[in-house]
Amino acid sequence: MERKKDNSAIKELIVPVTAVFIGLVLGGILMTLTGVNAIEGYKALIMGCFGRLEYVSETIVYTTPLIFTGLAIALGFRCGLFNIGCEGQYIVGLIGAAVVGAMDLGLPTFIHLPLTMLSGMACGAIWASVPGLLKAKFGIHEVVNSIMMNYIALYLSHYLVNGPIKDPGITSPYSREILDTAKLWRFFGQNSPIRVNSGIIIAIAAALFVYYLLFKTTIGYQIRAVGFNPEAARYGGISVPTNIVAAMFISGALAGLAGAVQIMGIQFKFLDIFAFQGYGLDGIAVALVGKSHPLGVLPSALLFGILQRGSQTMQMLAGVPKETIGIMQGVIIIIVAAEGIIKGWLPIRKILGTDKKAAGKEVGRA
């Protein structure tokens, strides 16, 4: 991935950067159409993200789960898998952490906290393993199955929080609050409204971990070989089914970790959800713009974190529907997917030096 050659970085980045730029322009047009001054809109976005310490904190809070789901999807891509089930894995991650975090087992923090986190990861991993196994054993495309698993997770969580894990002490469909021993450290005090917490550190660590895993270990070698060419991997003695399940498992664990960190650092309890939170879908944009590279996911997640957080303030301050961001996101994914649209552009071709190359890899075979 990160080969030398001076302009290779530019080549890697030019598509996502241009896509984001087009997305922003499009957002501006949409704002103008709804009668909002685009400059004002974006100002509201920036102010909402960085205007005050709390806002910066919120931006980080929005970014954190996106790092996890972005990593989850990027890792899937590397194995040739499209884990669109992050949404469901996130939900079961929330539940897993909420349940274990609320258990009063008399455990000290250094055991209870990792245990809670592991519980969320395990739930996500198991949830993702189902479509993984179905793909590995029966060859069923993981996309349809993981979406089905999303809906199952949604209804399951609804059932659980209205029954088995509901906090009997209150009328609202909430689970019990997790114990202090399972809470992450909030930098500005556990009861401070500034919610930024050690979750972001865990997220960055996760990115480094995935980077190491993918490029420096035999496991990553196997996963990438399967992703690039499963036939050749099989020929080389690498088990394709095993690696598909493994990649889905790790990917699901990352998405589950997103849920766990959300519970342990932000929510402290599971709150009934009626629709998907969107972290799973946002993760796709994060992974694509980050070129499926764990270290590319970090800035990419920050970008979408800013947009997500900003969309709230834009709606409040400037009256821009927050869905504007979603439209931009969809367009950005489409453009990154069809990079030919950008690469075919004359000024871009000049930068890339592909002006005359065009197609035709196949060289005069006879």
Partner 1 sequence: MSRLGKGINWNRLVRSRAFWLGAALVVLITVFSVNSIRSMGGEMFSYLVIDFFSTGIFMATPLILTSIGAVFSERSGVVNIGLEGMMLIGAFFGVMVSYFTGSAWLGVLGGMIAGGLTAALHAYVCISHHANQTVSGVAINVFALALTGFLLKAVFHRAGQTDRVTKLANWIMPDFFRNIPIIGDVLGSNTPPVYIALLLVVAAQVVLFHTPLGLRIRACGEHPEAADTVGINVTGTRYFCVILSGVLAGLSGVTLSLGQLSLFKEAMTDGRGYIAIAAMIFGKWTPLGAFLASLFFGLATGFKFISQSWNMTSIPTDFLLMLPYILTMLALAGFVGRLTPPAASGLPYRRRGSV
Partner 2 sequence: MSEIDATISPGQVILEMKGITKAFPGIVANSDVDFDLKKGEIHCLLGENGAGKSTLMKILYGLYKQDKGEVFYKGEPLVVNGPADTLRQGIGMVHQHFMLIKPLTVAENLVLGNEPTKYGFLIDKKKAKAELMEISTTFGLAIEPDAKIMDISVGMQQRVEILKALHRGAEVLILDEPTAVLTPQETKELFVIMRKLVHDGKSIIFISHKLKEVMEISDRVTVINHGRIIGSVKTSETSPSQLANMMVGREVELIVHKEPAKPGKEKFRAEGLVAENDRGLPALRGIDLSVRAGEILGVCGVDGNGQTELVQCITGMRRLSAGKVTLNGKDITNMPPKRCFEAGIVHVPEDRQKHGLVLDFTVAENMILQTYNKKPFSRGITLRWDEIKSYARRIISEFDVRTPDEDTKAGSLSGGNQQKAILARELSRTPELIVVAQPTRGLDVGAIEYIHKRLVSERDSGRAVLLVSLELDEIMSLSDRIAVIYEGRIMGTMDIEDATEETLGLMMAGSMPASHKGVM
Calpha distance 92→180 (Å, rounded): 21
Calpha distance 364→159 (Å, rounded): 63
Site map for partner 1, 115-144, x if CB under 8 A? ---------------x---x---xxx--xx
Smallest gap from residue 322 Cβ to partner 2 (A): 39
Residue 229's binding partner among partner 2, partner 1, none (Cβ under 5 to 8 angstroms by kind) is partner 2
Site map for partner 1, 30-59, x if CB under 8 A? x--xx-------------------------
What does the buried/exposed string (b/e) look like for 212-234 if buried means 16 or more CB atoms within 10 Å of the residue's CB? ebbeeeeebebbbbbbeebeebe
Interacting residue with partner 1 among 21, 151, 212, 228 (CB under 8 A): 151
Residue 235's binding partner among partner 1, partner 2, none (Cβ under 5 to 8 angstroms by kind) is partner 2
Residue 237's binding partner among partner 1, partner 2, none (Cβ under 5 to 8 angstroms by kind) is partner 2
Calpha distance 39→56 (Å, rounded): 20
Residues that bind partner 2 (CB under 8 A): 3, 216-222, 224-225, 228-229, 231-239, 356-357, 360, 362-366
Name the token pair of 61.
């809070």
Site map for partner 1, 320-339, x if CB under 8 A? -x-xxxxx-xxx-xx--xxx
Interacting residue with partner 1 among 21, 159, 228, 235 (CB under 8 A): 159
Smallest gap from residue 24 Cβ to partner 1 (A): 15
Is 86 or 253 the residue whose CB approaches partner 1 more closely? 86
Calpha distance 161→173 (Å, rounded): 6
Site map for partner 1, 64-93, x if CB under 8 A? ------------------x-x---------
Interacting residue with partner 1 among 56, 103, 148, 219 (CB under 8 A): 148
Is 253 or 333 the residue whose CB approaches partner 1 more closely? 333
Question: Tokens 């969809």 appear where?
Answer: 330
Smallest gap from residue 284 Cβ to partner 1 (A): 6
Region of 348 please: left (phi>0), alpha (psi -120 to 50) or beta.
alpha
Is 18 or 329 the residue whose CB approaches partner 1 more closely? 329
| Burial class of residue 188 in the structure, from the number of CB atoms within 10 Å of its CB (0-12 exposed, 13-18 middle, 19+ buried) | middle
Contacts of 167 (CB under 8 A, 6+ apart): 174, 175, 176, 177, 269
**Window contacting partner 1 (CB under 8 A); options: 39-47, 107-115, 229-237, 277-285:** 277-285
Residues 190, 191, 192, 194: what is their CA dihedral angle, to the nearest 10 degrees? Answer: 70
Contacts of 33 (CB under 8 A, 6+ apart): none
Residue 128's binding partner among partner 2, partner 1, none (Cβ under 5 to 8 angstroms by kind) is none
- Is residue 231 near partner 1 by the rule CB under 8 A? no
- Is residue 281 near partner 1 by the rule CB under 8 A? yes
Contacts of 20 (CB under 8 A, 6+ apart): 289, 303, 332
Got the DSSP string for 224-262? HHHHH-HHHHHHTT--HHHHHHHHHHHHHHHHHHHHHHH
Question: Tokens 């898998």 appear where?
Answer: 81
- Is residue 358 near partner 1 by the rule CB under 8 A? yes
**Which secondary-structure segment (H or E) carries 172?**
none
Q: Interface with partner 1 by CB under 8 A: which residues?
A: 30, 33-34, 82, 84, 130, 134, 138-140, 143-145, 147-152, 155-156, 158-159, 162-163, 275-276, 281, 284-285, 288, 321, 323-327, 329-331, 333-334, 337-341, 344, 358-360, 362
